[in-house]
Structure 1
């Protein structure tokens, strides 16, 4: 379960498969030979303390950030010919044209902002761009998809608001809606419950479970280990840019795995209705 360069041992099958991801800034290694598997049609939680490399890894997987060359010390250097390998359902994501890749995957980042005077509906309609010709305007089908996405994300009442007037939690729901309107088969999310109150957090995680039930492969970076415990099927734990544990929830969320990474004492209980782990923490 643990080790410096552990490889996720889930069955590859359909889904996301990643191998050999490196990223450095100066002499600081952010991602160190990361290999990850996210089984198809499941929710995979990407866990780890601040600075463990979760956000960087998601951006590399989405093609928004290019992986660095190991040992170069240059985060902007092109990746070596030997890697990284990022495939989804057997297809090389890096080899797909940008527009085609946008029909396959969507990325929901933390605190994405815009200075453009967009209404929420217009912002969500941006998720439909990969599905229409370059010069086409919004169709009735696009608008129907956008409204359905807003409803699913719990943001339908925001449709006519300007994005710049929204609170952090409202913006987070709109980012989710934009990604849902994109109808991806692979959804990557960086802290999707950021800024949300408890009810909205639970709603967001329910949306992810429903997507997985419909066959979407979901990978979400999460800070809240109890949300991960109650929602995820599979977990990947990063520490200092390396995978230190990966597997089913019940195998990763155990004291011997979590305590060295987070530096806290962990007690694991069982939820009386679901049987899933419930974690309690004390300073070590």
Structure 2
């Protein structure tokens, strides 16, 4: 991704709280994602993963903090919460799960939406924009679908189109909410390979994931949250252990070692 600036400092969020209808969804969350690495955001359903990603992306505003330090979200020496929307969209991209549109967009047109932050408001798509969009589609294996309408695609195909749209933004920070949702196992592995390749190019990646073994096999760093609070964060070998996972997920976990990669392989049983 040649257009993305390279961060020497990764994502650093602190004291992030968010509530709705008097219910605290995020409770003073501190979250980091190292530069040029794939970080997994893990936790049970309802733990606050999606909400945290939306706050980090500026889609939702964190709660004020009367009498104490306010939340901050910094990346590469920039205060993301203070950046104007268009400038922030040139720094980060968010891929939400199950994003839909009723507009009759082709796949190529949907991906070209990712170029909007990089051009003037009244400008049309340039040849360079189309080249970036075509490269993004190729990277996610969707080039053959460029002329199809998004509404005709399967859930997994749409998910890859949303990823391509985010890649077309050429972000330095990529936030993803369940990017392997709806994908078969081959497509899941391919998506995680794309994320690892992006990290190798210097992009900082933070992805909410449900599959703990997929996280164990592909992430450099993980953050586990439960009930809106961070329970543990760090290297997969240190965090994906029974002492952390058993109480968070209500299971009994055994950790094996992959014979080829040396990474953790998790085996679960009911806690009953």
- Tell me if TM exceeds 0.5: yes
Match of 2:152 in 1: 165
Match of 1:10 in 2: none
Match of 2:57 in 1: 62
Match of 2:5 in 1: none
Deviation at 1:90, TM superposition (A): 1.5
Match of 1:257 in 2: 244
Query: Do residues 233 (structure 1) and 185 (structure 2) align?
Result: no
Structure 1 residues 27-36 or 212-221, which shifts more?
27-36
Deviation at 1:81, TM superposition (A): 8.5
1:64-120 deviation digits (Å, cap 9, x = unpaired) = 1111246xxxxxxxx999421000011101111111110000000011111111000
Give TM-score, length-normalised by structure 2. Answer: 0.95
CA separation of 1:25/1:80 partners in 2, compared to 1, >3 Å: closer, same or farther? Answer: farther
**1:54-133 residue pairs with structure 2 within 5 A?**
54-69=49-64, 82-133=69-120
How many angstroms apart in 1 are the aligned matches of 2:36 and 2:80?
A: 18
How many matched pairs? 265
How many angstroms apart in 1 are the aligned matches of 2:68 and 2:116?
A: 31
Q: 2:19 aligns with which of 8, 21, 24?
A: 24
CA separation of 1:81/1:143 partners in 2, compared to 1, >3 Å: closer, same or farther? Answer: farther
Report the secondary structure of 1:268's partner residue.
strand
Report the secondary structure of 1:95's partner residue.
coil
Q: 2:185 aligns with which of 198, 212, 216?
A: 198
How many angstroms apart in 2 are the aligned matches of 1:157 and 1:244?
A: 43
Query: Do residues 46 (structure 1) and 41 (structure 2) align?
Result: yes
Query: Do residues 142 (structure 1) and 137 (structure 2) align?
Result: no
Structure 2 stretches of 5 or more lacking a match?
Answer: 1-7
The CA RMSD over aligned residues, in Å, is: 1.5
How many angstroms apart in 1 are the aligned matches of 2:135 and 2:103?
A: 23
Q: 1:69–1:80: 8 Å Cα contact kept in structure 2?
A: no
Deviation at 1:34, TM superposition (A): 0.2
How many angstroms apart in 2 are the aligned matches of 1:116 and 1:27?
A: 35
Match of 2:4 in 1: none
